[in-house]
């Protein structure tokens, strides 16, 4: 390698290290602030009252929330299916996409290192069906694109419809929050127009195919459906007492989810909970804590355990087949 290329490579490496270092600092800062806020909030919580609210929650509402959680996870499987179709792998059936999605998301979010764990699990699933590491990297990028398109669209809608709820989190006025919502929706609309035809980004050696506008629109719809189902699951678990509207719940839920994701803590624990309790405000926090506990069990803990079991069975079965062949 000649001197100019060596210098360029060194600078590039230095920038990457600085960005990763900044990301770690931001993650730690978010987590520390959220844990401090959560600890302060929970000081006034009556835990006995929380469990009373849990026991008094109508079983039909718990069942409805469970159904909505299932719908949310089923919607997640279409992230992988769309990504496979975008890169031209129509030979991979839906059941494999669903397996990769259901094992990668709950395990990666449960452990916390999503950007590290999710690609590894997907590679273990997809490599068995002939996909290369580069194909899996493309799938991870495209599923991430679907996730962010859905999240930002839902956040924009929630911010626009319930700017007051977000003001408790970002300390901005409702008017400013509505301006941010408009900017988010305008940016997504611009991206949709830009993708009128399929485009490639990246390098000639490592091209990444972006979906066309119809597929981008489908990504947004699926993302909204997945997030909406999860937010509705949380909403139905909140007792009638606090009298909280659906739009504030959706707006705060998505903001808390994004901050939890940025913190890299397992399932956004501490960060998600603090933002949710702060964002919905009020002095009667026990019903919200009860809803959070039930939601955590249904949306994070049970899928995490199920995904670990499914992935373990698949890995064990494949290992047994390989030993039988040899």
pLDDT tens readout for residues 152-177: 888 888 788 878 877 777 778 888 98
The Cα 251–Cα 299 span in angstroms is 18
The whole-number pLDDT of residue 99 equals 95
pTM for the complete prediction?
0.81
Per-residue pLDDT at 44: 66
Q: What is the pLDDT of residues 223-242, one digit of tens each?
A: 888 988 999 999 999 887 66
What residues have CB less than 8 Å from 10, skipping those under 6 apart? Answer: none
* Euclidean distance between CA atoms 204 and 221, whole angstroms: 31
Query: Of the ranges 6-10, 80-84, 118-122, which one carries the lowest mean pLDDT score?
Result: 6-10
- Cα 220 to Cα 22, 48, 169, 227, 306: the distances in Å are 29, 41, 25, 10, 27
pLDDT tens across 115-137, in order?
788 899 999 999 988 899 989 98
Tokens of 143: 């599923």
Backbone angles phi, psi at 210, to 5 degrees: -90, 150
The number of C-alpha atoms within 13 Å of 316 and in the hemisphere containing its C-beta is 6
Distance CA 23, CA 25 (A): 5
Mention every residue, 6+ apart, whose C-beta is less than 8 A from residue 320: none
Q: Which residue has the higher pLDDT, 160 or 66?
A: 66
b/e sequence 178-195, b meaning 16+ C-beta within 10 Å: bebbeebbeebeebbeeb
Q: Where are the domains of the chain?
A: 45-325
C-alpha–C-alpha distance, residues 286 and 288, integer Å: 5
Least confident of 11-15, 147-151, 213-217, 268-272: 11-15
Distances (CA, A) of 177 to 162, 170, 248: 9, 9, 13
Please provide the DSSP assignment of 192-238 as one string. HHHTSS-EEEE-SSSEEEEPPHHHHHHHHHHHHHHHHHHHHHHHHHS
């Amino acid at each position: 390698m000649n001197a100019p290329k060596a210098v360029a490579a060194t600078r590039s490496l230095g920038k990457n290290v600085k960005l990763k270092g900044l990301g770690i600092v931001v993650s730690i800062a978010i987590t520390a602030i959220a844990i401090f806020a959560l600890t302060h909030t929970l000081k006034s919580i009556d835990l006995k009252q929380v469990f009373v609210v849990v026991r008094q929650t109508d079983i039909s509402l718990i069942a409805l929330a469970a159904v909505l959680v299932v719908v949310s996870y089923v919607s997640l499987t279409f992230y992988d299916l769309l990504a496979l179709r975008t890169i031209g792998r129509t030979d991979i059936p839906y059941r494999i996409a669903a397996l990769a999605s259901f094992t990668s998301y709950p395990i990666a979010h449960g452990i916390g290192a999503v950007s590290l764990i999710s690609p590894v699990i997907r590679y273990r699933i997809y490599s068995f069906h002939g996909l290369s590491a580069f194909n899996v990297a493309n799938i991870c990028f495209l599923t991430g694109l679907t996730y962010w398109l859905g999240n930002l669209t839902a956040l924009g809608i929630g911010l626009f419809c319930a700017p007051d709820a977000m003001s408790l989190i970002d300390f901005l006025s409702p008017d400013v929050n509505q301006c941010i919502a408009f900017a988010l929706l305008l940016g997504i609309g611009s991206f949709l127009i830009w993708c009128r035809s399929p485009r490639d980004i990246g390098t000639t050696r490592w091209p990444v195919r972006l979906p066309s506008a119809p597929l981008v629109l489908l990504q947004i719809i699926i993302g909204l459906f997945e997030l909406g189902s999860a937010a509705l699951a949380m909403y139905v678990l909140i007792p009638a007492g606090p009298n909280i509207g659906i739009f504030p719940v959706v707006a705060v839920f998505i903001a808390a989810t994004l901050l939890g994701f940025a913190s890299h803590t397992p399932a956004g624990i501490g960060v998600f909970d603090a933002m949710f309790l702060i964002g919905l405000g009020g002095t009667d926090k026990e019903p919200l804590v009860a809803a959070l506990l039930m939601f955590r069990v249904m949306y994070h803990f049970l899928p995490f355990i199920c995904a670990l079991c499914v992935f373990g069975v698949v890995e064990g079965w494949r290992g047994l087949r390989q030993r039988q062949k040899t």
